[in-house]
Structures are given as structure tokens and as C-alpha cells.
Amino acid sequence: MRSKDTVRVGSGAGTSDDRMVPALELAERGDIDYLVFECLAERTVSRENLSRSKDPNQGYAPSLHARLRMVLPTCIEKKIRIVSNMGAANPVGGARAARKEAAELGLGDVPVAVVLGDDVSSLVQHKGELRLIENGEPLESILPKMISANAYLGADVVCEALNTGAPIVLSGRVADPSLFLAPMMHEFGWAYDDLAKIAQGTAAGHLLECTASVTGGCFGWPGKKDVPDLARNGFPFADVKADGSIVISKTPDTGGRLDVMTCTEQLIYEIHDPTAYITPDCVLDISTIALTQETSDRVRLANATARPATLTYKVNVGYADGYIGEGEVSYGGIDAVARAKWAAEIVKERLKLQGFTYDDFRVDLIGMSSLHDNLESRPEPYEVRLRMAGRTHNRKAAHAIGFEVRALHMHGPGGAGGACEPRVRDVLAVKSVLLPKNTVNPQVVVEGSL
Amino acid sequence: MSIRVYDLAHSRAGDKGNTSNISVICYDAKHWEFLERELTVERVAQAFRHIAKGPIRRYPLRNLRAFNFVIENALAGGVTISLAQDIHGKSYSNVMLAIELPDPK
């Protein structure tokens, strides 16, 4: 049991493809006040913008239906409020879909607070002079191919949405830790100048944003870092007090482990400079943090510090950048590697004879060099899978890679087996710019009646 | 005699754009100074020479008995355009763990 002065914020998804059942277990048995679903990878919003352009009712995360159908009855009954960026490229459309799910579940008219303003595509259309963070080139170099431009909004506008009292808050692009910080700001009235508390809440959000990454997922190693009952691993939550004290734990009676080791891996994860982790809410410093084990599966987070937020929002600009084509086929037994290498040369020559060229091209021998390269120093395995991939703006050239790899069955070295169908996918590239916060207009609208 | 990073520390890799971010976390705080001395940017660059162009930065995190290595130009252009199978470079932590260092004993 937990004390009454504690707010418990649970993590129900760390990606759109995250496992579902642990979120329901957290809602049913975790005694939580908030359930946060973080469901947007870097290019998800771009992909959903394309869905929306085909059907104006689409554009939110497709997993919204299954997720809400699963947890809504429990969340409404237990008054657990849901916060999620599953609105993706169409938060209003997502809110309508959520309300429809609630109605169909017999839960009545459930209002949804919608966070808007992250879509800055029309704003940046006129700002071609902005520099891309990745390569310093002007934004105008990718503007003609732009599909989406979304600012990473902060916890302030999500907090505003929570202030409406709606049981569900849906947003598009919001920085991941901000989704978790917002309920804390809402509950305790923390403001951005309460830097010690904002730092604690941001660090907790970072620990929670990848769900199972603090409960033994992406961690275990047999005999070295054992994880008990990993098949039933549970999702985490934070117990937060008004003074900013925080303990991380997980759903009772679930598998996995939550300890200083798992939390440390997640705390450093994707942080880069540990003294300057920039979110829309603050510039977090994790080099002061102390993690201590309180009891089994309970880790205290203390001493997070931060500097005030920067004056800009990071904006992800998604754009179409051609196609990636790929193919795979296997060789086994005597001279498997020699035959695979010969096959690769034949495919390259056939692509060249057809006049196809590629911006980037890659040959992998899966089993030897596909993950860490350095083919020449690897021992030869019994069997090897040849993979060839190329990026190009010519769809036919992309398709030809998989086509020619598959044709190795009949037209290559002896004994090729198990080629896959030729694969072609659209490249949705993402680059970023910084936009002054005072040019962006985050806002909240409510779908349904409060 | 040599010892592997694997024997003293655990590790996780993540990504942002074309940059890989790899933690090295000591099982026991008493090994932190050894790794600070031996697991240099140069040593890591050598292990990643087939994978990443660099530059590489190392951030000490003594409070977490850890280091954070940030390796630029490591992900074939980044998740969205990479032709690699492991587009995020999640498996790169195993390159870090396999690095051999002189045995401290």
C-alpha cells in the first residue's frame, strides 16, 4: 500500500509496438493514479501524416484502439487518468476514436482533452533559412520533400490539459519525459522555476519512458545478469511526493527485476552529455543523481538537478527520401561463405548492367558481419545468409535488389536456399531544427462535454 | 594477461540520429578507476574502427559508477535511412563489452 500524499504515475507503453498485457496488469493491480502511454518513435508522426493524407479520420497511432479497449474499463472504474501521445499526426481524430471506443464499451460519454500545436509544418514552410541540426544545411534543402514538422512540446501544455479534468489526455508530439512530468506538475502545482522538482520529475520520466527497460527487459544475460520470470515481466511506476521525492517500482506479482542496475542502464540510455539532457521543460543533469535500493523492486531516485529550459523547441522534420530495397538468401555447408560472396558479386554486376545506381549500398553476411562488420576477421560459420540492401530514388532500382537476390535460386552459385520475397519500403527520413518557443502556440481543446 | 570490459561492467546502447550512445556501468564501484584509466576514447575508437567514423566522447559518471560513450557517425546515417539490419545499433554494447584490457591484478 502507499501513503495518501503519494501520486503514482505508471508507464503503459514505451513504443507503439510495446507489449499490451503488462499495462492492463499495472492498471488492475498497480494502484496507480495515472497511466502514461508513450507511443511515438522518431518517424511515426511522418508515417501517420501520410495515413491522414489518405483518410482525414486516420493519422493517430493505430494501436490506440486495442490499447484503450483493453484498459479503459479498468481505468474509468478506478479513476486512473490516461495520458498519451497516441494522437500522433491527428490528436483530434484520436480523441474521437477514443470516445467511440468508450461508448462502445458502455462507459458513456468520456471527454478527452487534446493537446494541439505541435504541428508546425505551415510555420516552418516560411523558415527555409533555419539550419538542420544534423548537417548544418538550410531547412529549404528538404522543404520540397517535407511530410511533417512537429515540435517536441513540454509538460506545461499537457498539465494544462490535465487541469481540464478530462479522464483522457491525448497529444501528438510531446517529449517523452514530459508526458510523465505533467501529472506531477498538475497534482502538486510544480512550476518550471521549481527546478529541483522539475529535475526529479524529468529524471523519473526518463526512467519510465521505456517501460520494461527498468524491469529487466533489454537487460538479461544468462548466468551474468539473470532476470527471474522475464516472460511475465511487469511495467514500472513512480511514487511521487510533493517535495519531489521519488521511488520507482513495478506492478506487484509480476516477473522481471527492478534494481539499481536496471535503473542505471535506463538512466544513461540515449542521454549523450549527462550534464545537459535537454527537454522542453529543463536541462537535466544526471551526474548528481543517486539511485539506492530501498527494498526489493523499489529504487529511490534522488538529487537530480537541472538548469532552466532553453528558449527553443526541437522540431522533427520528416521528409520522403526515396526507397530502400533488400533481398536475402541462404547458403549452407561446404564453402557456404565463398558461394555467398560470389553471389553478391553477381547481383551487383547484374544491377550495374541494368543501369541502376544507389545512394548507399550494403552487403551483409548474416552470421558474420551484419551487426559489427569486420568480415575478414570473422570465423566462417556452417551456414550464412546473404543480405543485400540499397537506397535509391528509383523504385525500380530498389525492387531490383530483392528480385536479383531471389533469382540466385536459378541463376547463381549452387545450393542457394530460402530467398525472401523482394522487399521495398519508402524512406521517411527525419532531420531537426530549433524553433523559438514564442513562435509556437501549444493549446488544449476538449472533445466531448466535461 | 587481459580482462574484458564484460568481466567488470554491463552496458546498453541507444541512438539519436547518426550517433550511438553506449553506457559502461561497473558491477563494483572499485573498478571504476581502472576503467577510467584503461577504457580510453582511443581504446574504444580502435574497437569501433570498422563501425564508426567518430569522433567519440567519454563522459564520466562516478555517481552511477559508470561512463557514457557518445560515438558519432556510427549508424549508417541514422535509423530512418540506414541500410543496416540493426538500425539502432542496439547490439553495439556487445562490441564495448568485448574490448580487452590489461588485467588489473
Nearest-CA distance from A291 to chain B in Å? 8
Query: What is the total count of domains within chain B?
Result: 1
A107 contacts: CB under 8 Å, gap ≥ 6:
A72, A73, A76
| Residue of A259, A317, A371 to mutate, interface with B, max B Cβ within 10 Å | A371
Task: State the CATH class of domain A317-432.
Answer: alpha beta
A347 contacts: CB under 8 Å, gap ≥ 6:
A327, A388, A401, A404, A405, A408, A412
- Dihedral angle over CA of A271, A49, A166, A109, nearest 10: -150
Nearest-CA distance from A312 to chain B in Å? 19
Cβ within 8 Å, pair A364-B85: yes
CATH number at residue B23: 3.30.70
CB nearest B21 (choices: A43, A271, A372): A271
Q: Is the pLDDT of residue B25 over 70?
A: yes
pLDDT tens, position by position, A67-123: 999 999 999 999 999 999 999 999 999 999 999 999 999 999 999 999 999 999 999
pLDDT tens, position by position, A76-90: 999 999 999 999 999
CB pairs under 8 A between A and B: 112
CB nearest B63 (choices: A43, A272, A289): A289
pLDDT tens, position by position, B47-77: 999 999 999 999 999 999 999 999 999 998 8
Q: Rounded to an integer, what distance in angstroms lies between the CA atom of residue A174 and that of residue A154?
A: 6
**How high is the ipTM of this complex?**
0.97
Q: Rounded to an integer, what distance in angstroms lies between the CA atom of residue A273 and that of residue A276?
A: 5
| Residue of B80, B87, B93, B99 to mutate, interface with A, max A Cβ within 10 Å | B80
Query: How sure is the predictor about A406, in pLDDT bands with cuts at 50, 70 and 90?
Result: very high
SS3 A69: helix
pTM of the model: 0.96
Which residues in chain A have their CB less than 8 angstroms from residue B73's CB? none
CB nearest A265 (choices: B23, B78, B79): B23
C-alpha cell at A367: 552470421
Helices and strands counted in chain B (H then E): 4, 7
Task: Give the domain extent around B90.
Answer: 2-102
Which residues in chain A have their CB less than 8 angstroms from residue B50's CB? 372-374
- Averaged confidence pLDDT in chain A: 96
Which residues in chain B have their CB less than 8 angstroms from residue A370's CB? 84-86
Q: Which pLDDT belongs to residue A43?
A: 80
Average pLDDT over residues A1-24: 92
Q: Rounded to an integer, what distance in angstroms lies between the CA atom of residue A180 and that of residue A210?
A: 12
User: For chain A, what are the domain ranges?
Assistant: 6-118+153-310, 317-432
Average pLDDT over residues A421-439: 96
